[in-house]
Amino acid sequence: MPTASAAPRRWRTAVTLARLLPSYVLAGALRHVVPLNRLARWAWREPVARSGGGDPQRLAAAVTRLGQLVPGDRNCLRRSLVLYRELSARGADPRLVVGFRRGSLGVEGHAWVTTADGVVGDDTVHVATFTPTCRFGRAGRAEPIDPTTPAV
């Protein structure tokens, strides 16, 4: 039997998912027609919260859950753009990172988000198998990649 606090938590989750839905749908469409550097600038939002604005991993779980509910692909770039967008608005100073690796079928790409606390909403071991090739920081501006620095 659900606890008394379960109903408000479900309600908050539903409100969060409804708020994220437009950005999620738009990111899914734009990633097919807009260059990555412009997508990063679109995704960045000036902070409206003073401190990190809540738990980034919880937000990542909500974005992942939204991906399970919305028909279509569950693309890492789409998910990362929305997470980067929301974390920037919360003042978490995120980085959007894109990397590649050689896989069994050729070159594989992946996108993920980091903050000062590390990788958000992704498996650190998985991310570490990719070589970062581009990173976007504040205001969606490209940042230099240090090839000697690990992906995570």
Q: What is the pLDDT of residues 86-106, one digit of tens each?
A: 999 999 999 999 999 998 999
Note the pTM of the prediction, 2 decimals: 0.87
Instruction: Please report, for residues 22, 65, 84, 116, 124, the alpha-carbon distance to residue 51 in angstroms, rounded to integers and kept in the order given.
Output: 25, 24, 16, 13, 24
Residue 129 near residue 107 (C-beta atoms within 8 A)? no
Can you tell me the distance from the alpha carbon of 42 to that of 15, in angstroms, rounded to the nearest whole number?
23
Mean pLDDT of all residues in 26-47: 95
Mean pLDDT of all residues in 105-122: 95
Can you tell me the distance from the alpha carbon of 41 to that of 55, in angstroms, rounded to the nearest whole number?
23
